[in-house]
């Protein structure tokens, strides 16, 4: 299966193909992808990653940690959908925090 890693800083995607069994969970896949992307990425110091399914319609959904990505992908055909999996750093996905001021 092909997976993408979104590099917000560079504004591009890196891709990796890995073998995924029907019993592999999202957590298993995230751990494998972190190892595979590490040589290419300098931003993998944060341990919080999530796997998203992204469809051509623009729909995006975060996979639960115990879901099985291969089964999810196989169901795309049943629903006549196309998509891809994107590994995202959750720290990048959060909106920046605003500095609070106590007034003048």
Position 14 scores a pLDDT of 86
Calculate the CA dihedral of residues 96, 56, 17, 79 and round it to 10 degrees.
120
pLDDT digits (tens, 9 = 90+) for 22-81: 999 999 999 899 888 765 555 545 558 899 999 988 899 999 999 999 999 999 988 778
Map out the domains of the chain with their CATH numbers. 2-92 (3.10.20.90)
Position 98 scores a pLDDT of 40
Report which of residues 1 and 101 the model is more confident about: 1
Q: Whole-angstrom Cα distance, residue 68 to residue 76?
A: 13
pTM (predicted TM-score): 0.75
């Amino acid at each position: 299966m092909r997976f993408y890693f979104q590099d917000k800083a560079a504004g591009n995607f890196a891709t990796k193909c890995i073998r995924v069994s029907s019993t592999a969970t999202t957590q298993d896949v995230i751990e494998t992808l972190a190892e595979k992307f590490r040589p290419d990425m300098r931003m993998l110091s944060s341990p919080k990653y999530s796997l998203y399914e992204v469809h051509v319609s623009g729909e995006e959904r975060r996979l639960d940690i115990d879901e099985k990505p291969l089964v999810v992908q196989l169901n795309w055909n049943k629903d006549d959908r196309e998509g891809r999996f994107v590994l995202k750093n959750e720290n990048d996905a959060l909106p920046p925090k605003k500095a609070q001021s106590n007034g003048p």
